[in-house]
Amino acid sequence: MTSVKNETASAVRLADYRPPEYLIDTISLTIALDPTETRVTAEMAIRRNNGTPRNAPLRLDGDELSLQSVRIDGKRLSGDAYHATPDLLTITAPPEGAFTLTVETLVDPTANTQLMGLYRSSGNYCTQCEAEGFRRITYFLDRPDVLAVYTTRIEAKKDDAPILLANGNLTDSGDLPDGRHYAVWNDPFPKPSYLFAMVAGSLGVVEDEFTTQSGRKVDLKIYVEPGKEPRCAYAMDALKRSMTWDEEAFGREYDLDIFMIVAVSDFNMGAMENKGLNVFNDRYILADPQTATDQDYANIEAVIAHEYFHNWTGNRITCRDWFQLCLKEGLTVFRDQEFSSDQRSRAVKRISDVRLLKSHQFAEDAGPLAHPVRPNTYKEINNFYTATVYEKGAELIRMLKTLLGPEGFRAGMDLYFELHDGEAVTVEDFLAAFADATGTDLSQFMLWYEQAGTPALAVTSAFDATAEKLTLTFEQSCPPTPGQPVKKPMHIPVRFGLVGPDGQDLSYGAVAGATVTGDTIHVVDERHRVTFSGVKAPPVPSLLRGFSAPVKLVGGLTTGEFGFLAGHDSDPFNRWQAIQNLAMGLLTETTAAAHAGKPVPSDDSFLDAMGAIASDTGLDPAFRALALQLPGETDIARDIGEDVDPDAIATARNALRSAIGTALGDIFRSLYDTLADSGPYSPDADAAGRRALRNVALDYLLAAGGEAAEARARDHYFGADNMTDRLAAMTSLVHAAAPAAREALTDFHDRFAGDPLVIDKWFAVQAAAPFAGTLSKVEELTTHTAFSWSNPNRVRSLIGVFATGNPTQFNRADGAGFEFIANAVLKLDRSNPQVAARLLSAFRSWRALEPERRERAEAALRQVAATTPLSADVQDIVSRSLD
Ligand code: TRP
Ligand code: ZN
């Protein structure tokens, strides 16, 4: 059992920010590794910051530390000169001038189940310090605005830990008595403590090198569990492509002589950008065609890029405080999205990103956990690594680029790097660089960082054929969110085109009302009108092209007009969006029918539109695969917004899926046959797109039912030569409750037993099965030998997928799904509060449920709230959820 932080932890407020009273310029760490008694000696060069009174007490953060000794300038302090608890070391009256503080602590990495600080994974030692994990290693000013130069000496038994790694460059290594050895690493770049890392153990390595644009050679190393080296090739390739791209797209070159990545099996999040020593969840490193899907490959590429890009956006320029988290995360997500767009298909990447944004961030924004991209208060910072900070944060950068144009955006980025390299800064500093570089007033834009909630943008259009005038009227509003009842109007960039009868964008003459620059209408007022003159034919306005702002666009077009855009818009994103709108309209209508127990009506014009897309060989297969996928059950629930009946949604959606499968059976069979792969597997975007479309076709055929479809899916499963096809076939069989599902599940288990990352897929497919028996199956699987409550990947694939990927079963009318998750949260909270709190956020949409389910969800939340002790993490989520 880990220590439980103060239950009534008080809130931290942005308004209370004060610069640190002391600064630490250098820290020299000696870490003598031992499974249960690791001795950490930290020698810190400390001085008073400007404005700090003489002899002001020095308070260093700790967390579960056991202090062994304290020295100032080499002299041991007497007991009254300091005060120590496991989470705070106070030096009562430090010297006036600069001094050296040496602190010795003991930590127990084996007992560290939170996976924050120094812990063990598969027998190796590793660290995770963001956000506040360094204080679990030694007492320190554990805040991102204290930048120090780190020297790290690691000592360990040579047999246990032949590999010793830390940030920066290796400066010394050698043998010690008693079969021990040491290595010393120095990182010349001053950095905050959250970027510290060390790793030690028995690891295999894959090596390569990269020459930067200025001709410097950089050694690249990826460390993995011995034997897994062959699965690192794609990650290494993605790393080199990321390094090239950052030079070309942002002019950013790597700065150390070595860049290392370590893959670990026990990790709370995706990966971590520690300076020169990224630590990854191994699911974002390891891939080969037999074990990784196309989506896994795409994720690996994106996460490798993301962590690498942090070297400039996060590390060289870091955050002043944790309220500024989006400064590094939103910006770095934007950068990795752009990288993937350039490496793959821009349209397909944009559609996938917006799907993710809507399903995660819009859902967060619509519930009790809504918060601004830059929050102004938090109780537990770990709970703010959210879709809002990351994904909406990236959308804000994208809007900034739309507002300033590519050149203005690049000029702002260049100025930001030039002004703030080596500093810890704020969102204001960031925006000021863009304002200064381009002479733009960004004060209204700043509201995007401060106001939570998804703005609704209602639009009406009126065309006067005789006057050749089109008038668009926009009205923006933003629903209340916790602590923010009323919002100010924001600057919403609406990229647009006026699509003429032939599908081409119409030209227009004078513009009156709202400002229009290039292809963008700038909606800045609550109610804003724009009139285009010289419009020679009746247009269909295509608005919010490329999803140019994270808003909910309401109204404006008829079903017929959406149908037209679905077939003709030159903007592929809006073609996709138009189809989604048609599907959503139909699905909300049929859900109401299903809820009322009426037969679910069908719609031939929609089926025709789907057929047209499925068979349009002029379209990228990956785009067709996305366009053919109906909005998810949770997306439909969000659109309905209140009194949600998840069973009715599933009934309506399944009815439409089977109607599509039946009506377009010939098209899908022919797609399945013509898209068959020739040649060996390649994870590239084109090949992946063809597989995606073929697997969508197969899934629809199964949804329509019949023995022939089942036989086809069974063959697809057993004939597959790659994980993408095998997993797609198994998933479709399981969801269709086909007789061969059991056979596939058994085969899959036996084929991949002993490969935890693949068994995660096996857990996930079963956890997502939309059937009444699933909950007891999931309970049973928690006792499977491959399952472990202490491994976050296992917990996420079985328990997490049940909670967030199975709307009918998590939201069971009898409340058993809620109860199961509440109990899982309480169990996990005793070992890993971060993972527990994240799981609990599955309840975020509970208030939108119909009354019976709502009552049961609330009861489960109240049960969690009433439990003592609770971690600060879970306490924070449960109290906000019930507020
Ligand atoms: N900064 C990491 C990223 O690239 C996020 C992260 C990794 C993290 N591990 C963590 C955040 C642990 C909090 C706790 O996005
Ligand atoms: Zn990040």
What are the residue ranges spanned by the domains of the chain? 18-202, 320-450, 456-549, 753-883
**Average pLDDT for 693-705:** 98
* CA distance linking residue 46 with residue 180, whole number of Å: 31
Residue 1 has pLDDT above 70, yes or no: no
Amino acid (one-letter) located at 203 = L
For residue 131 and ligand 1, the question of a CB distance below 6 A is answered with: yes
CATH superfamily of 320-450: Neutral Protease Domain 2 (1.10.390.10)
Helical segments of 630-739, H only? 633-640, 646-663, 665-674, 685-704, 707-719, 723-735
**Average pLDDT for 328-357:** 98
For residue 130 and ligand 1, the question of a CB distance below 6 A is answered with: yes
Of 118, 272, 280, 326, the one to substitute when testing ligand 1's pocket (max ligand atoms within 8 A of C-beta) is: 272
pLDDT of residue 375: 98
Residue 7 has pLDDT above 50, yes or no: no
56-107: per-residue pLDDT in tens?
999 999 999 999 999 999 999 999 999 999 999 999 999 999 999 999 999 9
Give the closest residue to 843 by CA, choosing from 795, 811, 867, 872: 811
Lowest mean pLDDT among 400-414, 429-443, 669-683, 804-818: 669-683
463-519: per-residue pLDDT in tens?
999 999 999 999 999 999 999 999 999 999 999 999 999 999 999 999 999 999 999
Say which residues have a Cβ less than 8 Å from residue 16's Cβ, sequence separation at least 6. none
* CA distance linking residue 810 with residue 295, whole number of Å: 25
| Token pair listed for 420 | 């703030």
In the structure, what pLDDT confidence band is assigned to residue 6 with cuts at 50, 70 and 90?
A: very low
Ligand index nearest the alpha carbon of residue 394: 2
* CA distance linking residue 60 with residue 69, whole number of Å: 14
DSSP, res 769: -
284-319 in b/e form (b: 16+ CB < 10 A) is bbbbbbbbbbbebbbbbbbbbbbbbbbbbbbbbbbb
Query: Which 3 state secondary structure label does DSSP give 126?
Result: strand
| Token pair listed for 869 | 């002790």
pLDDT of residue 9: 65
Closest atom of ligand 1 to CA, residue 271: 7
Residue 2 has pLDDT above 60, yes or no: no
Give the closest residue to 842 by CA, choosing from 369, 355, 454, 270: 369
Ligand index nearest the alpha carbon of residue 833: 1
**Average pLDDT for 711-740:** 98
Domain 18-202 has CATH 2.60.40.1730: yes
Strand order in the sheet with 198-201: 117-121, 124-128, 198-201, 163-166
**Cis peptide bond prior to 432, omega within 30° of 0:** no
Yes or no: say if 169 and 183 are a contact pair by the CB < 8 Å rule: no
* CA distance linking residue 380 with residue 1, whole number of Å: 19
User: pTM for the whole thing?
Assistant: 0.98
584-615: per-residue pLDDT in tens?
999 999 999 999 998 877 788 999 999 999 99
For residue 280 and ligand 1, the question of a CB distance below 6 A is answered with: no
pLDDT of residue 731: 98
Yes or no: say if 22 and 52 are a contact pair by the CB < 8 Å rule: yes
The pairing of beta strand 469-477 with beta strand 456-464: antiparallel
Give the closest residue to 614 by CA, choosing from 557, 567, 563, 551: 567
Q: Which residues are catalytic, by number?
A: 307
Which CATH architecture group holds 456-549?
Sandwich (2.60)
Percentage of the chain lying above the pLDDT 90 cut: 97
Yes or no: say if 48 and 21 are a contact pair by the CB < 8 Å rule: yes
| Token pair listed for 735 | 């969801």
Read off φ and ψ for residue 259, nearest 5 degrees: -130, 125
What's the alpha-carbon Rg for the chain, to the nearest Å? 28
Domains 18-202 and 456-549 share a fold: yes
pLDDT of residue 745: 98
| Count of CA atoms in the C-beta half-sphere (13 A) of 704 | 19
Ligand 2 centroid–CA 453 distance in Å is 22
For residue 273 and ligand 1, the question of a CB distance below 6 A is answered with: yes
Residue 578 has pLDDT above 60, yes or no: yes
Residue 8 has pLDDT above 60, yes or no: no
| Token pair listed for 11 | 């809130």
Of 268, 310, 834, the one to substitute when testing ligand 1's pocket (max ligand atoms within 8 A of C-beta) is: 268
Of 118, 127, 130, the one to substitute when testing ligand 1's pocket (max ligand atoms within 8 A of C-beta) is: 130
98-133: per-residue pLDDT in tens?
999 999 999 999 999 999 999 999 999 999 999 999
**Average pLDDT for 698-705:** 97
Name the one residue in this structure whose structure tokens are 């943008």.
Answer: 457
Residue 371 has pLDDT above 50, yes or no: yes
Nearest CA to ligand 1 atom 2: 272
121-180: per-residue pLDDT in tens?
999 999 999 999 999 999 999 999 999 999 999 999 999 999 999 999 999 999 999 999
Give the CA distances from residue 793 to residues 271, 757, 796, 838, in Å, rounded to whole numbers and listed in that order. 13, 8, 5, 13
Give the H or E element holding residue 247: helix 233-250
Number of Cβ within a 10 Å radius of residue 654: 18
* CA distance linking residue 573 with residue 594, whole number of Å: 31
Q: What angle, rounded to 10 degrees, do the helices at 723-735 and 294-309 form?
A: 120
Say which residues have a Cβ less than 8 Å from residue 556's Cβ, sequence separation at least 6. 459, 460, 461, 472, 541, 543
* CA distance linking residue 659 with residue 232, whole number of Å: 43
Say which residues have a Cβ less than 8 Å from residue 450's Cβ, sequence separation at least 6. 372, 374, 376
In the structure, what pLDDT confidence band is assigned to residue 677 with cuts at 50, 70 and 90?
A: confident
Query: Cα dihedral sign for 427, 433, 436, 442?
Result: negative
pLDDT of residue 119: 99
Closest atom of ligand 1 to CA, residue 306: 4
545-576: per-residue pLDDT in tens?
999 999 999 987 999 999 999 999 999 999 99
851-864: per-residue pLDDT in tens?
999 999 999 999 99
For residue 329 and ligand 1, the question of a CB distance below 6 A is answered with: yes
Closest atom of ligand 1 to CA, residue 267: 9
> Is 179 exposed, middle or buried, given 0-12, 13-18 or 19+ CB atoms closer than 10 A?
exposed
Give the CA distances from residue 159 to residues 108, 155, 172, 185, 201, in Å, rounded to whole numbers and listed in that order. 20, 12, 19, 20, 9
DSSP per residue over 701-726, as a string?
Answer: HHHH--HHHHHHHHHHHHH-SSHHHH
Strands of 49-167, DSSP E: 58-61, 66-72, 75-76, 82-85, 88-91, 99-107, 117-121, 124-128, 148-157, 163-166
Ligand 1 centroid–CA 644 distance in Å is 33
For residue 272 and ligand 1, the question of a CB distance below 6 A is answered with: yes
Nearest CA to ligand 1 atom 7: 272
241-292: per-residue pLDDT in tens?
999 999 999 999 999 999 999 999 999 999 999 999 999 999 999 999 999 9
pLDDT of residue 428: 99
* CA distance linking residue 152 with residue 61, whole number of Å: 20
618-657: per-residue pLDDT in tens?
999 999 999 999 999 999 999 999 999 999 999 999 999 9
pLDDT of residue 168: 98
> Is 580 exposed, middle or buried, given 0-12, 13-18 or 19+ CB atoms closer than 10 A?
buried
For residue 102 and ligand 1, the question of a CB distance below 6 A is answered with: no
Q: What angle, rounded to 10 degrees, do the helices at 756-767 and 774-781 form?
A: 160
In the structure, what pLDDT confidence band is assigned to residue 3 with cuts at 50, 70 and 90?
A: very low
For residue 353 and ligand 1, the question of a CB distance below 6 A is answered with: no
Ligand 1 centroid–CA 329 distance in Å is 9
For residue 266 and ligand 1, the question of a CB distance below 6 A is answered with: no
Give the H or E element holding residue 279: strand 277-281
Yes or no: say if 551 and 523 are a contact pair by the CB < 8 Å rule: no
pLDDT of residue 4: 46
Per-chain mean pLDDT for the chain: 97
Give the closest residue to 811 by CA, choosing from 591, 632, 644, 595: 644
445-460: per-residue pLDDT in tens?
999 999 999 999 999 9
Q: Class for domain 753-883, per CATH?
A: mainly alpha
764-802 in b/e form (b: 16+ CB < 10 A) is bbbbbbbeeebbeebeebbeeebbebebbbbbbbbbbbb
| Token pair listed for 676 | 């068959």
